[in-house]
Amino acid sequence: MKQKKNKGLLIAIIVLLLIIILLAGVIAYLYFFTDIFKSNKQLFFKYTSQIVQIEDGFLDNQLVQYFQKKRSTSYENNGEITFEVSAPNAEEDLKLANDFNITFSGKSDPNNSKAEKEISMNYSDSVNVPLTYRIANNITGIQTPYLGSSFVAIRNDEEFSELEDINNLIKLQNIEISNEEIINLKTTYFDNILNTLEDSKFSTLTEGNLTGYRLTLTGEELKNLLVQILNALKTDTNTTHKLNEILDGVGADVQLDEDSIDDIVENINDWEFNDDVDITVYATSGNLTKIEVGVSGNTLTVTKEGNNQEATYTISVDTTEEYVGAVCTAKYSGLNSDSITENFEITLEEPSEEKSYKYVLTNNVQFMDSVEIEDLTEENAVILNDEDSEYVSNLINIIQERMVEVNRAQMEELGVTENDNPIQDLLPSFLKNSQMTTEVDEASVNAFNQKFELYQSTNTKGATVKGLLTTIQNNNETEGNNQIEEINFDGEEYEVTEQNITYLKSSINVDDNYRVEFEKDSNTGLIYRAVINKR
């Protein structure tokens, strides 16, 4: 009898242990693989970290592979850009603008650094501006029948520093972030800085089938957080180097080092920023699907939808300002195939003008084993590097005059004046005003610089150098504040004075060759210094 009781007790203990183990397993699963038992702070970090995750992150892995494939595989593509502008009682006035479209077809051979695009800017079925854009053999060229059959091209070498920005953009496409670098970013900036924020700064909310985890900071707390991140950046040389690569790629003049970071910190400390900032990450089924940043009633939202074959990203700006609201959607279809369709749609609302603008770009990419792209040579292109400065200047003037004539004739065919090109109706007023200001500023800077850049070369004759010195002297006598301040001649610095100009001219042999370069002010973009060295 006693043995039977002991056996029953043993069975009860085993069953109880099994239940405890089962419960422990369920609790562990819920903790490690679901969001139950995690704090709002832990969940905010969990989903924020998915922004930079390589596998199953916010940026779809199939989409990443597609971008990589475009950089390594030949393809052909074709598509169009359409425009839709609407305003009350302005349908007839905007007809020409809404009829305007751009069609294009092209091919790319990334392994041989070649690409070509056939582009047509279409005002109507019979009025258009066709042009061909081609890159081959480190030469970039543009051709249009309105200027002849030859390409106008530039070889990307040291003589044409204007192409440095193009080089940097190409290099920017190849910048990659390793898994180790991502781990460093997460540890240094997410764990060691963000993780010190108080739990009370985090909250949860729901929106439909989405659950959101929000971080709320006051303006002062945001300033302190940014200062901590910047101070960490001063000793994080790997991240600083990577950021400087990106800054180079977008043509920024600034470089991050200890001094520049200290300057930024000082500026941040001077901010007067009293509004709260909300950063919210939304998740469904354990994956980040939406990011939202809000401040002073203005909200920036990024959402993601998709599956193995399709990925859609939407960026929207909801602002309290009266002049604009914006939505941008990028959709990629057929990601697991050799035929991918890209669709981009941008919608801008301009309440102050009662206007809305929609721009739609469709691009079909077909990957190929190979494509044929003709080289740019002396037989089919005018390569400006091989021509003297006078020839280049005259050619630019001819091109400008010819395009003015073409525009005048085409607008007459459309029944409007040359100043009523419908393209100007395709931009919202705030962009047009900004662009006009920029164009005026750039035009004055370019006009000033062009007077001197015509002399820039690695092989300039002494007689031409003397002409440059005369140009500098005349400029300084007439241009007021816009002056060439210094001349570096064979390593010696000279202030630009009449006496020094006379001396330098006497030191130059008209039969010798010289290297002529210029330095620009980083703030204004104006040339302020000439560098002349005998070859």
Residue 233 belongs to what H/E stretch?
Answer: helix 219-235
Walk along the chain (535 residues) and give the pLDDT tens digit of each residue. Answer: 445 555 566 667 677 777 666 666 666 666 666 676 788 888 888 888 787 665 667 888 888 889 889 989 999 999 999 999 999 988 899 999 999 999 999 999 999 999 999 999 999 999 999 999 999 988 999 999 999 999 999 887 544 433 344 344 434 444 566 777 777 777 888 778 877 889 999 999 998 888 999 999 998 888 888 888 888 888 888 888 877 777 765 555 667 888 888 888 888 888 777 788 999 999 988 889 999 999 888 899 999 998 878 999 999 988 776 656 789 999 999 998 999 999 999 998 887 778 899 999 999 999 999 999 999 998 999 998 888 877 887 888 788 889 889 999 999 999 999 888 999 889 887 666 554 444 445 667 877 888 888 788 888 888 888 889 988 988 887 755 678 889 999 989 999 998 999 999 999 988 899 999 999 887 778 899 999 999 8
| pLDDT value at residue 127 | 95
**Longest CA span, the chain:** 127
Give me the residue label for tokens 């279409």: 122
Name the token pair of 411.
């607008």
- For residues 87 and 350, is the Cβ–Cβ distance under 8 A? no
Residue type, 63: L
Structure tokens at 499: 């006496």
The answer to whether 160 and 139 have CB atoms below 8 angstroms apart is: no
Residue pointed to by tokens 């004759």: 461
Tokens of 513: 């060759």
CA 190 to chain CA centroid, nearest Å? 25
Residue whose structure tokens are 């006693």: 2
Let me know: does 43 contact 213? Beta carbons within 8 Å. Answer: yes
Question: DSSP 3-state assignment of 418?
Answer: helix
Q: Strands, DSSP E only, in 448-485?
A: 457-461
Residue 326 has which token pair?
């914006």
Domain residue spans of the chain:
429-534
